[in-house]
Amino acid sequence: MLEVIFLGTGGVMPTLERNVPTIALRYKGEIILFDVGEGTMRQMNTAKLSPMKVEKIFITHFHGDHYLGLAALIQTMNLWGREKPLHIYGPKYTFQFVQNFLNSGFFRPGFDIHVHELGETRLEFGDYEIWSFKVEHGVPALGYVFKEKDRRGKFLPEKLSEYGLSGGPILGKLEKQGQIEWNGRIIRLEDVIGPRRKGVTVVYTGDTEPCERVRLFSENADLLIHEATYLTSDDRGESYHSTVEEACQTAKKAKVKLLALFHRAFRYTYDEYAAKARELCDVPFVVPRDFDVLTFKSGRWEMRNLRED
């Protein structure tokens, strides 16, 4: 099961209603963070997410609202006696900026921190991959794709019955070996399973103007988390951000299954922003609040809020 947990959904500065950007992706017991806005540790406490389960942090760019929570998070890990390494990924200058953090104050982590500077890179991690791609934000900035690898098909009960297989250790042996001899017959794994299941794809743009690479890397994604800071281009002015309408157009062109409008400017109330989105968007979309969780189940997304659990 895969969960996308929105720990901070606003942009630029925190408000009483929402914090600055942090997204936690929970997959098979691991927590992956995308951006670490100020106050992330507090948001994780509220969401009951342990920083000790975070092994990878992906930073989109080094504007303060996207990374200033990193120091507090690392110090908390240290206070709690962390021993396993932490991997931090980001665009050009990531090594320099992380070192500046680690050299500030009377503090040194007691565990290894590995810093990785990325361009357009494909990283493999067991059952999933993470791709980075360049976006347009006026400073070195990346978007990220979480791509679950395709999974083998499920066992088909009618096929198991046909071959006289009732489950238990014999199926484990069949999975491991690929084929077995059973009742005088050779049975292959592909004889008793359905078609391969497509892995889930989640794309996070970070901050960006509309750009073609977002569309390319989001093609047919299950979820696109696209920054949509402003309601209109007049509100945007000269900043390197997207509007709600531009994010919706990108999602439509890329044929994504669901769009999450993210990084809402602090000047807008939730109701004002969501109402405008309903006018402008003709694709399936959500406007997440802090602590909303999108869970991918049976080929579709379900949303709940952790404060209501």
Is 66 annotated to bind ligand? Answer: yes
Is 63 annotated to bind ligand? Answer: yes
* CA 128 remoteness from chain centre: 12
Give the pLDDT confidence score for residue 229 in this predicted structure: 94
Give the pLDDT confidence score for residue 132 in this predicted structure: 97
What's the residue count for the chain? Answer: 309
Q: What is the pTM of this model?
A: 0.88
Nearest residue to 228 (alpha-carbon basis) of 215, 214, 241, 218: 241
CATH class of domain segment(s) 2-151+197-308: alpha beta
- What are the beta bridge partners of residue 181? 186
Give the pLDDT confidence score for residue 17 in this predicted structure: 85
Cβ atoms of 257 and 286 within 8 Å: the answer is: no
Residues lower than pLDDT 70 in the chain: 167, 309
Catalytic annotation present for 127: no
CA dist., res. 288 & res. 38, Å (int): 19
φ/ψ region of 46 (left if φ > 0, alpha if ψ in -120 to 50, else beta) reads alpha
Tokens encoding 114: 């590995």
Tokens encoding 85: 């390494």
Is 207 annotated to bind ligand? Answer: yes
Give the pLDDT confidence score for residue 308 in this predicted structure: 77
Give the pLDDT confidence score for residue 96 in this predicted structure: 94
Q: Where are the domains of the chain?
A: 2-151+197-308, 157-191
Give the pLDDT confidence score for residue 103 in this predicted structure: 85
Is 309 annotated to bind ligand? Answer: no
Give the pLDDT confidence score for residue 86 in this predicted structure: 97
Residue at token pair 């890179």: 121
